[in-house]
Amino acid sequence: MKKLGFDKWIVVITVTTAALLQTIDSSIVNVTLNQMMGNLGASLGDISWVVTGYAAASAVMITMSGWLTAKLGRRNYFAASIILFTIASIFCGTSTNVWELVFFRVVQGIGGGGLLTTAQSILIQTFPKEDLGIANAIFGLGVIIGPSIGPTLGGFITDNLSWNWVFYINIPFGILATFLTYTYIKEPAEKMLAGKMDWLALILLVMGIGGLQIILEKGEEKDWFDSRFIVGMSLAAGVGLIGFIWRQLAVKIPILDLRLLLQRRFAVGTLFNFILGFGLFASVFIIPVFCQTILGFTASQTGLLLMPGSIATGMMMPVVGGLMSKNYISPVWYAGIGFLLFFGFCFDLSAISLAAGPDYFFWPLIIRGIGMGLIFIPLTTVTLADLKNIEIPQGSALTGMIRQLGGTFGTAIMTTYISTRTMFHASRLGDNVSIYNPLSVDRIRQYTGLFLSKGDALASATSKAYGLMQGTMMRQALVMTYADAFLVIGGFFLICVPLLLLFIGKKIEAPAHTEMVME
C-alpha cells in the first residue's frame, strides 16, 4: 500500500483547523451575548436569535453536506464552506444592529454546517487503515475540545477586548484552512452519484430540521406549548420531518441516504452519536451556568476550569488511536470504558455543594476528558465500519446531524429540567420554613438580629430577614437541582454500556481508504 507521506499530516491540520472553526463558534458566542445586547441595543429575546439562527442553519447544512460533496466535489465544497464561513465572520464583526448580525450568523451557519462532516469523510477516504486511528484522534480534538475551549476563549475576549473579536479571530484561520485545502486536499478516485437538486426535499428539510432546531433553542424562552409561535413551529417541523423522510425514501438518489440506517451497526452507532452530543453539550452548558450564577465565577475563571479536562481529552486521543491500530481489543471495549467514566464524572458531581471551589471540579473533569477521548474514535470506527467507501460522506452527514441534534436536545432538556426541578426543590424546602419549625424560627431570629445591628428598624429587619431566608433557600434548591441534572446526564451514558452489545457481530475494521487522485 502506497504511503501518502508528509501530505497526509497537512491534511489532518487542514481538516482539524476547519473543525475547530465550527465547534468553537458554536459555543464561543454564548458568553458575549450580554456585551452584544448593550452595544447593539437589543433585548435578550432578540439577541438569542444570534445563537438560534446559527444552530438552525448549521443543522440543515450538516444534513445536506453528503449530497453537496457529491455534487460539487469534495475539495470544492470544503473550500467553499470555509470561505463562506470566513466572509460571514467579517460581516458579523462589523454588524451595526442585531438583525444584521442574526442574518450573517445564519450565513455563517450555512458555511460552517458542512465543515465537520466533510472533514471527517476526507480523513476516512484518504488515510490507510493503519494510520486512520491517529488521524481520527487528532481530528477528534476539534470535535470534542472545541465546545469546551469556546467559553474559555469567549470569556477572555469578552473581558479584554470586544465582542467583535469573537468573529474576527476566525479570519486568519479561515484563510490558512482555505489555502491548505486547495493545496493538499484531493478528490477521491471513486465518486458518489448526486442527482439534481430536489427543491421539495430542501423545503421540507428546512421546515423539519431547521424548525426543530428553533423549537429546541427557543422553547424554554417562549414557555413551550403555551406559545402560539412554538405550536405553529412544531406543526411545521412535524410536517417537514415526515415529508422529508418520505421524500428521501421515495427518490432514487436522495439528499440524505436514510437507507443506511438499515445497517444495524450504523443505526446503533448513530443513536450513540445522539447520546454523545447530548452529554457533551449538556455538561458544557450546565457547568458554566452553575459556576457563574451560583458560585460567582467570572467567564474567564469558568473557561479555565474546563481546560484540564480538554487537555486530558487531547492526551487520550492519540493514545486510543495508537492502541486501536494494534487491534489488541475491539473498539467496543474502549467505548464502554469511556461511557462508564463519563457516568463516573456525572455521579461525582451529583454530590456538589455551595462550598465547591475550582479544585472540586478538577478530577471529575479529568475523568470526563479521558472518557470522551475513549468514546469518540472507537464510536466513529464501529459506526462507519460497515459502510462502503462511497457511502462515507452520506454516513458522516447523517451521524453529524444526529450528534448536532443530540447537543441541542441536551441543552433544551437541561434548561427546562433545571427550571421545573428548581421549583420542585424550592417548594419542598419551603414546606420546612414556618413558625412551627424551631430551626427556621431560630434562623429568622438570627437574620433579624443581624439587620437590627446594622441600624434597620424592626419591621425592615424582619422583612429583610425573610428575603435573605428566601434567597438562601433558592440557592440550595438550585444546588440540589444541578446535582439531579448531573445524574440525569450520567444515566444516559450508563444505559449505553449494555447497549454496546448490539455492536457484537462480525469483525470490526476501519473503512478502507481511497487513494488520492494526484494532480
- Alpha-carbon span 284 to 148, nearest angstrom: 6
Q: Which helix H or strand E contains 458, and what residues bound it? A: helix 458-499
What's the Rg (C-alpha) of the chain? 24
Residue 270 CA to residue 396 CA, distance in Å, equals 10
- Cβ-based neighbours of 281, under 8 Å, separated by 6 or more: 147, 406, 407, 408, 410, 411
Q: What is the Cα–Cα distance from 301 to 349, expressed in whole angstroms?
A: 18
- Size of the chain in residues: 519
User: Comparing C-alpha atoms, which of 279, 312, 304, 315 is closest to residue 411?
Assistant: 279
Confidence of residue 86 (pLDDT cuts 50, 70, 90): very high
pLDDT of residue 344: 92
505/507 Cα distance (integer angstroms): 6
Position 128 scores a pLDDT of 67
Average pLDDT rounded to a whole number, residues 371-384: 82
d(CA 152, CA 430): 37
Tell me the DSSP string of 307-357: HHHHHHHHHHHHHHHHHHHHTSS-HHHHHHHHHHHHHHHHHHHTT--TT--
Comparison of pLDDT for 485 and 355, the residue scoring more:
485
Round to whole Å and give the CA distance between 185 and 76: 9
What is the SS3 assignment for 454? coil
Query: 461, 478 in Cβ contact below 8 A?
Result: no
Across 473-498, average pLDDT: 87
Distances in Å between the Cα of 284 and the Cα atoms of 17, 352, 368, 425, 426 are 21, 16, 11, 23, 25
pLDDT band per the 50, 70, 90 thresholds, residue 431: confident
pLDDT (tens digit, 9 = 90+) per residue, 175-210? Answer: 988 888 888 887 766 666 666 777 888 888 888 888
CB 56 within 8 A of CB 48: no
- The pLDDT value recorded for residue 17 is 80
Write the burial class of residue 421 (CB in 10 Å: 0-12 exposed, 13-18 middle, 19+ buried): buried
Tens-place pLDDT, residues 90-117 = 998 888 888 898 899 989 988 888 787 7
Residues 3-38 pLDDT 10s: 445 677 788 778 878 877 777 777 677 667 767 777
The mean pLDDT of 312-333, rounded to a whole number, is 78
Q: How many CB atoms lie within 10 A of CB 202?
A: 17
Tell me the C-alpha to C-alpha distance, in Å, between residue 77 and each of 126, 138, 384, 397, 518.
16, 22, 22, 14, 18
What is the DSSP-derived secondary structure letter of residue 186?
A: -
Cell of 255: 439528499
HSE-CB of 47 using CA atoms within 13 angstroms: 18
Q: What angle do CA 69, 102, 83 make, to 5 degrees?
A: 35
Handedness of CA 185, 190, 195, 200 (dihedral sign): negative
Residue 281: exposure state from Cβ atoms within 10 A (0-12, 13-18, ≥19) = buried
The helix/strand/coil state of 516 is: strand
CB 121 within 8 A of CB 15: no
The per-residue DSSP string of 85-151 comes to: HHHHHHHHHT--SHHHHHHHHHHHHHHHTTHHHHHHHHHHHHS-HHHHHHHHHHHHHHHHHHHHHHH
Instruction: Tell me the average pLDDT of the chain.
Output: 79
CB 369 within 8 A of CB 313: yes
Contact at 8 Å (CB) between 17 and 187? no
Q: What is the pLDDT of residue 513?
A: 44
Check pLDDT > 50 for residue 511.
no
Is the pLDDT reported for residue 290 higher than 50? yes
pLDDT of residue 423: 86
What the block records as the C-alpha cell of 232 is 405553529
Average pLDDT of 64-71? 80
State how far Cα 51 lies from the chain centre: 12
Q: Which of 176, 155, 206 is nearest to 24 (CA)?
A: 155
- At residue 391, what is the residue type? E
- Could you give the 3-state DSSP secondary structure of residue 193? coil
